[in-house]
Structure 1
Amino acid sequence: MNKQLIRHYLQAQTVMDQTTEQFIDECIHEVQTIAQFKAVYQIYHLSHHPLMLKEVNIPLVSDDLKFYFKDCHECCIIACTLSTMIDRQLKYYEHIDMHKAVVFDAVSNAYLEECCDDFEKTLDFKERTFRLAPGYGDIPMQLNKTFATLLQIDKKLGVSMNSSGLLIPMKSMIGLIGIGKNMKKTCLSCIRKESCELRKGGQRCYVKD
Protein backbone atom coordinates (compact mmCIF):
# COMPACT_ATOMS: atom_id res chain seq x y z
CA MET A 1 0.00 0.00 0.00
CA ASN A 2 0.97 3.61 -0.58
CA LYS A 3 2.19 4.85 2.81
CA GLN A 4 2.57 8.35 1.41
CA LEU A 5 -1.18 8.44 0.77
CA ILE A 6 -1.88 7.12 4.27
CA ARG A 7 0.29 9.85 5.80
CA HIS A 8 -1.54 12.38 3.62
CA TYR A 9 -4.86 11.23 5.11
CA LEU A 10 -3.35 11.47 8.60
CA GLN A 11 -2.10 15.03 8.10
CA ALA A 12 -3.03 17.26 11.07
CA GLN A 13 -4.85 14.35 12.74
CA THR A 14 -2.04 12.71 14.67
CA VAL A 15 1.69 13.09 15.34
CA MET A 16 3.79 10.97 12.96
CA ASP A 17 5.84 9.25 15.65
CA GLN A 18 7.15 5.69 16.00
CA THR A 19 3.86 4.48 17.49
CA THR A 20 1.89 5.87 14.55
CA GLU A 21 4.26 4.25 12.04
CA GLN A 22 3.86 0.93 13.86
CA PHE A 23 0.06 1.33 13.78
CA ILE A 24 0.24 2.01 10.04
CA ASP A 25 2.02 -1.30 9.42
CA GLU A 26 -0.38 -3.19 11.69
CA CYS A 27 -3.46 -1.61 10.12
CA ILE A 28 -2.26 -2.23 6.57
CA HIS A 29 -2.02 -5.94 7.32
CA GLU A 30 -5.38 -5.96 9.09
CA VAL A 31 -7.26 -3.98 6.43
CA GLN A 32 -5.87 -6.10 3.60
CA THR A 33 -6.89 -9.23 5.53
CA ILE A 34 -10.50 -8.36 6.39
CA ALA A 35 -11.58 -6.04 3.56
CA GLN A 36 -13.87 -7.50 0.90
CA PHE A 37 -13.59 -5.15 -2.07
CA LYS A 38 -16.53 -5.17 -4.47
CA ALA A 39 -17.33 -2.85 -7.36
CA VAL A 40 -19.92 -2.23 -10.07
CA TYR A 41 -19.96 0.24 -12.92
CA GLN A 42 -22.02 1.46 -15.84
CA ILE A 43 -21.07 3.56 -18.87
CA TYR A 44 -23.38 6.24 -20.29
CA HIS A 45 -23.09 8.58 -23.26
CA LEU A 46 -22.79 12.28 -22.45
CA SER A 47 -24.71 15.12 -24.02
CA HIS A 48 -23.55 18.70 -23.49
CA HIS A 49 -25.33 22.06 -23.08
CA PRO A 50 -26.71 20.99 -20.65
CA LEU A 51 -24.44 18.19 -19.44
CA MET A 52 -26.47 14.99 -19.07
CA LEU A 53 -26.27 11.21 -19.03
CA LYS A 54 -28.10 10.54 -22.29
CA GLU A 55 -29.64 7.12 -21.77
CA VAL A 56 -31.25 8.00 -18.45
CA ASN A 57 -31.78 11.77 -18.87
CA ILE A 58 -29.96 12.58 -15.64
CA PRO A 59 -28.56 16.14 -15.57
CA LEU A 60 -25.08 16.69 -14.16
CA VAL A 61 -25.55 20.16 -12.70
CA SER A 62 -21.99 21.08 -11.81
CA ASP A 63 -19.54 23.64 -13.19
CA ASP A 64 -16.73 21.32 -12.15
CA LEU A 65 -18.10 18.43 -14.23
CA LYS A 66 -18.69 20.77 -17.18
CA PHE A 67 -15.03 21.76 -16.93
CA TYR A 68 -13.58 18.26 -16.55
CA PHE A 69 -15.96 16.52 -19.00
CA LYS A 70 -15.85 19.25 -21.67
CA ASP A 71 -14.30 17.01 -24.34
CA CYS A 72 -15.61 13.67 -23.07
CA HIS A 73 -18.18 11.61 -24.98
CA GLU A 74 -18.97 9.06 -22.27
CA CYS A 75 -19.10 8.86 -18.48
CA CYS A 76 -18.39 5.82 -16.33
CA ILE A 77 -20.23 5.70 -12.99
CA ILE A 78 -18.41 3.42 -10.59
CA ALA A 79 -19.40 2.30 -7.09
CA CYS A 80 -17.23 0.29 -4.74
CA THR A 81 -16.99 -0.79 -1.11
CA LEU A 82 -14.68 -2.53 1.35
CA SER A 83 -17.81 -4.08 2.98
CA THR A 84 -18.95 -4.20 6.60
CA MET A 85 -16.00 -5.77 8.45
CA ILE A 86 -13.93 -2.61 8.06
CA ASP A 87 -16.65 -0.49 9.70
CA ARG A 88 -16.98 -2.96 12.57
CA GLN A 89 -13.25 -2.97 13.26
CA LEU A 90 -13.10 0.82 13.11
CA LYS A 91 -15.88 1.09 15.71
CA TYR A 92 -14.01 -1.41 17.88
CA TYR A 93 -10.85 0.71 17.84
CA GLU A 94 -12.88 3.86 18.55
CA HIS A 95 -13.89 2.25 21.86
CA ILE A 96 -10.44 1.04 22.93
CA ASP A 97 -7.79 3.25 21.27
CA MET A 98 -8.65 6.45 19.38
CA HIS A 99 -5.07 6.86 18.14
CA LYS A 100 -5.22 3.49 16.39
CA ALA A 101 -8.78 4.21 15.21
CA VAL A 102 -7.56 7.35 13.40
CA VAL A 103 -4.77 5.36 11.72
CA PHE A 104 -7.11 2.49 10.84
CA ASP A 105 -9.51 4.98 9.26
CA ALA A 106 -6.74 6.53 7.16
CA VAL A 107 -5.44 3.14 6.04
CA SER A 108 -8.96 2.07 5.08
CA ASN A 109 -9.46 5.24 3.03
CA ALA A 110 -6.17 4.71 1.23
CA TYR A 111 -6.96 1.05 0.56
CA LEU A 112 -10.37 1.89 -0.89
CA GLU A 113 -8.75 4.41 -3.26
CA GLU A 114 -6.06 1.90 -4.22
CA CYS A 115 -8.55 -0.91 -4.87
CA CYS A 116 -10.76 1.37 -6.95
CA ASP A 117 -7.74 2.58 -8.95
CA ASP A 118 -6.75 -1.04 -9.64
CA PHE A 119 -10.31 -1.89 -10.68
CA GLU A 120 -10.38 1.06 -13.08
CA LYS A 121 -7.22 -0.24 -14.75
CA THR A 122 -9.02 -3.48 -15.62
CA LEU A 123 -11.61 -1.44 -17.55
CA ASP A 124 -8.82 -0.37 -19.92
CA PHE A 125 -10.07 3.11 -20.80
CA LYS A 126 -7.66 4.59 -23.35
CA GLU A 127 -8.39 8.22 -22.51
CA ARG A 128 -10.05 9.23 -19.27
CA THR A 129 -10.22 11.84 -16.56
CA PHE A 130 -9.40 11.14 -12.96
CA ARG A 131 -12.26 9.97 -10.74
CA LEU A 132 -14.55 12.64 -9.27
CA ALA A 133 -17.04 11.96 -6.48
CA PRO A 134 -20.25 13.66 -5.36
CA GLY A 135 -19.25 16.16 -2.69
CA TYR A 136 -16.03 17.02 -4.54
CA GLY A 137 -15.98 20.71 -5.49
CA ASP A 138 -19.51 21.70 -6.52
CA ILE A 139 -20.64 18.19 -7.51
CA PRO A 140 -23.93 17.72 -5.60
CA MET A 141 -23.83 15.17 -2.81
CA GLN A 142 -27.41 14.15 -3.67
CA LEU A 143 -26.06 12.54 -6.83
CA ASN A 144 -24.96 9.71 -4.54
CA LYS A 145 -28.62 8.76 -4.13
CA THR A 146 -29.29 9.02 -7.87
CA PHE A 147 -26.32 6.84 -8.80
CA ALA A 148 -26.92 4.40 -5.96
CA THR A 149 -30.37 3.70 -7.41
CA LEU A 150 -29.05 3.61 -10.97
CA LEU A 151 -26.36 1.04 -10.16
CA GLN A 152 -28.52 -0.89 -7.65
CA ILE A 153 -25.71 -0.88 -5.14
CA ASP A 154 -27.97 -2.13 -2.37
CA LYS A 155 -28.50 -5.41 -4.23
CA LYS A 156 -25.12 -5.70 -5.94
CA LEU A 157 -22.78 -4.41 -3.23
CA GLY A 158 -24.80 -4.48 -0.01
CA VAL A 159 -24.37 -0.71 0.29
CA SER A 160 -27.18 1.49 1.62
CA MET A 161 -27.50 5.20 2.35
CA ASN A 162 -28.44 7.18 5.44
CA SER A 163 -30.67 10.27 5.56
CA SER A 164 -27.65 12.56 5.03
CA GLY A 165 -26.72 10.85 1.79
CA LEU A 166 -23.68 9.09 3.23
CA LEU A 167 -22.96 5.54 2.09
CA ILE A 168 -23.07 2.61 4.52
CA PRO A 169 -20.65 0.83 4.97
CA MET A 170 -18.66 4.06 5.38
CA LYS A 171 -15.74 2.76 3.34
CA SER A 172 -17.76 2.90 0.15
CA MET A 173 -17.54 5.33 -2.73
CA ILE A 174 -19.32 6.44 -5.90
CA GLY A 175 -17.28 8.19 -8.59
CA LEU A 176 -17.56 9.59 -12.09
CA ILE A 177 -14.94 9.20 -14.82
CA GLY A 178 -15.05 11.10 -18.08
CA ILE A 179 -14.08 9.01 -21.12
CA GLY A 180 -12.53 10.54 -24.22
CA LYS A 181 -9.95 12.91 -22.74
CA ASN A 182 -6.85 12.27 -20.65
CA MET A 183 -6.71 14.34 -17.48
CA LYS A 184 -4.65 13.48 -14.42
CA LYS A 185 -5.15 15.05 -11.02
CA THR A 186 -2.71 17.95 -10.89
CA CYS A 187 -2.90 21.51 -9.63
CA LEU A 188 -2.70 22.83 -13.19
CA SER A 189 -5.68 20.70 -14.30
CA CYS A 190 -7.85 21.88 -11.39
CA ILE A 191 -10.70 24.32 -11.92
CA ARG A 192 -9.95 25.86 -8.50
CA LYS A 193 -6.21 26.39 -8.91
CA GLU A 194 -6.41 30.20 -8.69
CA SER A 195 -8.36 30.26 -5.41
CA CYS A 196 -7.01 27.14 -3.68
CA GLU A 197 -5.82 27.85 -0.12
CA LEU A 198 -3.84 24.60 0.01
CA ARG A 199 -1.91 25.54 -3.13
CA LYS A 200 -1.19 29.00 -1.75
CA GLY A 201 0.32 27.30 1.29
CA GLY A 202 2.47 24.98 -0.82
CA GLN A 203 0.31 21.91 -0.21
CA ARG A 204 -1.88 19.64 -2.37
CA CYS A 205 -5.19 17.88 -1.84
CA TYR A 206 -3.79 14.76 -3.52
CA VAL A 207 -0.64 12.64 -3.39
CA LYS A 208 1.73 12.87 -6.31
CA ASP A 209 2.86 9.46 -7.60
Structure 2
Amino acid sequence: MNGYLQVCLEKLDKSEALRYMGYGRTVPDERILSMMDECEKVLLGVIKPCAIYHVFDIQPLEDGVAVCGTSLVLRGKAISEHLAGCVKCVLLAATLSAQADRVIRRYEATDMTRAVMADFLASAAVEQICDKVDEQVRGEFEEFFQTWRFSPGYGDLPLDIQGEFLDILQAQKRIGLNATENNILTPRKSVTAVIGLSDHDIPKGRQGCAACNMREVCQFRKRGDHCGI
Protein backbone atom coordinates (compact mmCIF):
# COMPACT_ATOMS: atom_id res chain seq x y z
CA MET A 1 0.00 0.00 0.00
CA ASN A 2 1.26 3.47 -0.95
CA GLY A 3 0.48 6.45 1.21
CA TYR A 4 0.97 10.20 1.00
CA LEU A 5 0.35 12.52 3.91
CA GLN A 6 0.36 16.31 3.80
CA VAL A 7 0.53 17.45 7.42
CA CYS A 8 -0.85 20.69 8.80
CA LEU A 9 1.15 21.69 11.86
CA GLU A 10 -0.56 24.45 13.81
CA LYS A 11 2.22 24.55 16.39
CA LEU A 12 5.66 23.02 16.89
CA ASP A 13 6.75 20.94 19.86
CA LYS A 14 8.67 23.64 21.72
CA SER A 15 9.10 21.54 24.86
CA GLU A 16 10.92 18.91 22.79
CA ALA A 17 13.04 21.58 21.09
CA LEU A 18 14.01 22.99 24.50
CA ARG A 19 15.00 19.50 25.62
CA TYR A 20 17.21 19.17 22.54
CA MET A 21 18.78 22.48 23.57
CA GLY A 22 19.68 21.02 26.96
CA TYR A 23 17.15 22.72 29.19
CA GLY A 24 15.75 19.49 30.59
CA ARG A 25 13.81 20.41 33.74
CA THR A 26 15.18 23.97 33.73
CA VAL A 27 12.63 26.60 32.75
CA PRO A 28 14.08 29.09 30.22
CA ASP A 29 13.66 32.81 30.80
CA GLU A 30 11.12 34.97 28.98
CA ARG A 31 13.68 36.20 26.46
CA ILE A 32 14.40 32.67 25.28
CA LEU A 33 10.70 31.79 25.15
CA SER A 34 9.93 34.93 23.16
CA MET A 35 12.68 34.16 20.65
CA MET A 36 11.41 30.62 20.32
CA ASP A 37 7.87 31.88 19.64
CA GLU A 38 9.31 34.08 16.90
CA CYS A 39 11.23 31.19 15.31
CA GLU A 40 8.16 28.96 15.48
CA LYS A 41 6.06 31.59 13.71
CA VAL A 42 8.65 32.02 10.94
CA LEU A 43 8.94 28.26 10.37
CA LEU A 44 5.19 27.68 10.38
CA GLY A 45 4.85 30.37 7.76
CA VAL A 46 7.04 28.61 5.20
CA ILE A 47 7.37 24.86 5.82
CA LYS A 48 5.45 22.29 3.79
CA PRO A 49 5.38 19.18 5.98
CA CYS A 50 4.65 15.94 4.14
CA ALA A 51 5.43 12.25 4.21
CA ILE A 52 5.17 9.16 2.02
CA TYR A 53 5.15 5.51 2.97
CA HIS A 54 4.81 2.06 1.44
CA VAL A 55 4.00 -1.26 3.08
CA PHE A 56 5.96 -4.35 2.04
CA ASP A 57 6.10 -8.01 3.00
CA ILE A 58 9.46 -8.93 4.52
CA GLN A 59 11.62 -12.03 4.69
CA PRO A 60 14.26 -12.66 7.41
CA LEU A 61 17.77 -13.51 6.19
CA GLU A 62 20.92 -14.59 7.99
CA ASP A 63 22.39 -11.09 7.86
CA GLY A 64 19.28 -8.93 7.88
CA VAL A 65 15.78 -8.59 6.44
CA ALA A 66 14.78 -8.60 2.76
CA VAL A 67 12.09 -6.16 1.65
CA CYS A 68 10.02 -8.28 -0.73
CA GLY A 69 9.41 -6.99 -4.23
CA THR A 70 12.54 -4.82 -4.08
CA SER A 71 16.30 -5.36 -4.06
CA LEU A 72 16.61 -3.68 -0.66
CA VAL A 73 18.06 -5.67 2.20
CA LEU A 74 18.01 -4.13 5.67
CA ARG A 75 21.28 -5.48 6.99
CA GLY A 76 22.41 -5.81 10.57
CA LYS A 77 21.65 -7.46 13.87
CA ALA A 78 19.78 -4.47 15.28
CA ILE A 79 17.21 -4.24 12.48
CA SER A 80 16.80 -8.04 12.49
CA GLU A 81 15.95 -7.87 16.20
CA HIS A 82 13.69 -4.89 15.63
CA LEU A 83 11.66 -6.70 12.95
CA ALA A 84 11.74 -10.15 14.61
CA GLY A 85 8.27 -11.66 14.40
CA CYS A 86 7.06 -9.06 11.89
CA VAL A 87 5.52 -10.07 8.58
CA LYS A 88 5.48 -6.63 6.98
CA CYS A 89 7.34 -3.37 7.23
CA VAL A 90 6.54 0.24 6.44
CA LEU A 91 9.20 2.31 4.68
CA LEU A 92 8.53 5.99 5.33
CA ALA A 93 10.12 9.30 4.43
CA ALA A 94 9.15 12.67 5.88
CA THR A 95 10.35 16.20 5.22
CA LEU A 96 9.66 19.81 6.17
CA SER A 97 10.72 20.91 2.65
CA ALA A 98 13.70 23.04 1.66
CA GLN A 99 12.11 26.14 3.18
CA ALA A 100 13.07 25.01 6.70
CA ASP A 101 16.72 24.74 5.68
CA ARG A 102 16.59 28.24 4.20
CA VAL A 103 15.21 29.71 7.44
CA ILE A 104 17.99 28.09 9.46
CA ARG A 105 20.69 29.27 7.04
CA ARG A 106 19.31 32.80 7.11
CA TYR A 107 19.46 32.86 10.90
CA GLU A 108 22.99 31.41 10.82
CA ALA A 109 24.10 34.49 8.91
CA THR A 110 22.61 36.91 11.43
CA ASP A 111 21.85 35.31 14.81
CA MET A 112 23.24 31.96 15.95
CA THR A 113 20.94 31.73 18.95
CA ARG A 114 17.88 31.90 16.74
CA ALA A 115 19.58 29.56 14.27
CA VAL A 116 19.97 26.91 16.99
CA MET A 117 16.36 27.39 18.10
CA ALA A 118 15.03 27.10 14.56
CA ASP A 119 17.18 24.01 13.96
CA PHE A 120 15.84 22.19 17.01
CA LEU A 121 12.27 23.32 16.39
CA ALA A 122 12.53 21.91 12.86
CA SER A 123 13.93 18.62 14.21
CA ALA A 124 10.98 18.35 16.58
CA ALA A 125 8.60 19.15 13.71
CA VAL A 126 9.91 16.27 11.59
CA GLU A 127 9.20 13.90 14.47
CA GLN A 128 5.68 15.34 14.67
CA ILE A 129 5.18 14.41 11.01
CA CYS A 130 6.43 10.88 11.65
CA ASP A 131 4.03 10.58 14.59
CA LYS A 132 1.20 11.42 12.18
CA VAL A 133 2.37 8.63 9.85
CA ASP A 134 2.42 6.25 12.83
CA GLU A 135 -1.19 7.17 13.57
CA GLN A 136 -2.29 6.73 9.96
CA VAL A 137 -0.59 3.34 9.60
CA ARG A 138 -2.10 2.22 12.90
CA GLY A 139 -5.55 3.14 11.61
CA GLU A 140 -5.07 1.41 8.26
CA PHE A 141 -3.59 -1.76 9.75
CA GLU A 142 -5.62 -2.18 12.93
CA GLU A 143 -5.17 -5.94 12.85
CA PHE A 144 -1.39 -5.61 13.21
CA PHE A 145 0.87 -4.73 16.12
CA GLN A 146 3.29 -1.93 15.30
CA THR A 147 6.92 -1.36 16.29
CA TRP A 148 8.55 2.00 16.95
CA ARG A 149 10.45 3.72 14.12
CA PHE A 150 13.97 2.57 13.23
CA SER A 151 16.05 4.78 10.92
CA PRO A 152 19.12 4.08 8.79
CA GLY A 153 22.13 4.86 10.96
CA TYR A 154 20.63 3.40 14.15
CA GLY A 155 22.54 0.46 15.54
CA ASP A 156 24.32 -1.33 12.70
CA LEU A 157 21.74 -0.53 10.00
CA PRO A 158 23.99 1.25 7.49
CA LEU A 159 23.32 4.76 6.21
CA ASP A 160 24.35 3.75 2.70
CA ILE A 161 20.88 2.35 2.03
CA GLN A 162 19.45 5.88 1.92
CA GLY A 163 19.64 6.23 -1.85
CA GLU A 164 17.93 2.91 -2.59
CA PHE A 165 15.41 3.55 0.20
CA LEU A 166 14.40 6.85 -1.42
CA ASP A 167 14.34 5.33 -4.91
CA ILE A 168 11.88 2.65 -3.80
CA LEU A 169 9.55 5.30 -2.39
CA GLN A 170 10.11 7.59 -5.40
CA ALA A 171 10.78 10.24 -2.77
CA GLN A 172 12.69 12.50 -5.15
CA LYS A 173 9.66 12.87 -7.39
CA ARG A 174 6.91 12.72 -4.79
CA ILE A 175 8.24 14.95 -1.97
CA GLY A 176 11.52 16.37 -3.31
CA LEU A 177 13.70 14.33 -0.94
CA ASN A 178 17.18 13.24 -2.02
CA ALA A 179 20.38 11.85 -0.51
CA THR A 180 23.91 13.13 -1.16
CA GLU A 181 26.89 10.94 -2.04
CA ASN A 182 27.61 10.90 1.71
CA ASN A 183 24.08 9.62 2.42
CA ILE A 184 22.90 12.88 3.96
CA LEU A 185 19.25 13.69 3.34
CA THR A 186 18.38 16.90 1.53
CA PRO A 187 16.38 18.87 2.53
CA ARG A 188 18.24 18.37 5.80
CA LYS A 189 15.16 18.44 8.02
CA SER A 190 13.94 15.07 6.80
CA VAL A 191 13.73 11.52 8.12
CA THR A 192 13.60 7.99 6.71
CA ALA A 193 12.47 5.14 8.91
CA VAL A 194 11.21 1.56 9.08
CA ILE A 195 8.19 0.41 11.08
CA GLY A 196 7.52 -3.28 11.62
CA LEU A 197 4.03 -4.83 11.50
CA SER A 198 3.36 -8.10 13.30
CA ASP A 199 0.26 -10.28 13.49
CA HIS A 200 0.98 -10.96 17.18
CA ASP A 201 1.98 -8.85 20.16
CA ILE A 202 5.55 -7.56 20.02
CA PRO A 203 7.62 -7.78 23.22
CA LYS A 204 9.55 -4.62 23.98
CA GLY A 205 12.97 -5.08 22.46
CA ARG A 206 16.09 -2.99 22.46
CA GLN A 207 15.11 0.60 21.92
CA GLY A 208 16.88 3.93 21.97
CA CYS A 209 20.34 4.03 23.53
CA ALA A 210 20.97 0.28 23.44
CA ALA A 211 20.51 0.14 19.69
CA CYS A 212 22.12 3.46 18.79
CA ASN A 213 25.60 3.67 17.30
CA MET A 214 26.02 7.18 18.80
CA ARG A 215 25.53 6.06 22.39
CA GLU A 216 29.19 6.45 23.41
CA VAL A 217 29.39 10.10 22.34
CA CYS A 218 25.76 11.18 22.83
CA GLN A 219 25.36 14.48 24.69
CA PHE A 220 21.90 13.47 25.92
CA ARG A 221 23.30 10.40 27.70
CA LYS A 222 26.14 12.41 29.22
CA ARG A 223 23.64 14.63 31.03
CA GLY A 224 21.37 11.73 32.00
CA ASP A 225 18.75 12.36 29.33
CA HIS A 226 17.76 10.70 26.05
CA CYS A 227 16.84 11.89 22.57
CA GLY A 228 13.36 10.41 22.66
CA ILE A 229 13.96 7.64 20.11
Same fold judged by TM-score > 0.5?
A: yes
Q: Compute the displacement of 1:105 (Å).
A: 0.3
- For 1:76, which of 73, 90, 94 is the aligned residue? 90
Instruction: Give the 5 Å matches for 1:175-186.
Output: 175-180=193-198
Alignment partner of 1:205 is 2:223:
no
Alignment partner of 1:120 is 2:134:
yes
Relative to structure 2, which stretch is displaced further, 141-150 or 29-38? 29-38
Alignment partner of 1:6 is 2:17:
yes
Unaligned runs of 5+ in 1: none
Q: 1:66 to 1:177 in 2, by over 3 A?
A: same
Alignment partner of 1:90 is 2:104:
yes
Q: Compute the displacement of 1:169 (Å).
A: 0.9
How many pairs were matched up? Answer: 203
d(CA) in 1 for partners of 2:47, 2:194:
23
- For 2:169, which of 151, 155, 161 is the aligned residue? 151
Relative to structure 2, which stretch is displaced further, 89-98 or 149-158? 149-158
Select the structure that is richer in strand: 2
Moved over 3 A (4+): 15-18, 181-184, 186-191, 195-202
Alignment partner of 1:40 is 2:62:
no
State the AA in 2 paired with 1:132.
F
Q: Identity across aligned pairs (percent)?
A: 27
State the AA in 2 paired with 1:164.
N
Contact 1:38–1:82 (Cα < 8 Å) also in 2: yes
Q: TM-score, normalised by structure 1?
A: 0.85
Contact 2:72–2:165 (Cα < 8 Å) also in 1: no
Q: Compute the displacement of 1:183 (Å).
A: 6.1
Q: TM-score, normalised by structure 2?
A: 0.78
Higher relative contact order (CA closer than 8 Å, sequence separation 6+): 1
User: Which residue pairs with 2:69 in the alignment?
Assistant: 55
d(CA) in 1 for partners of 2:201, 2:53:
19
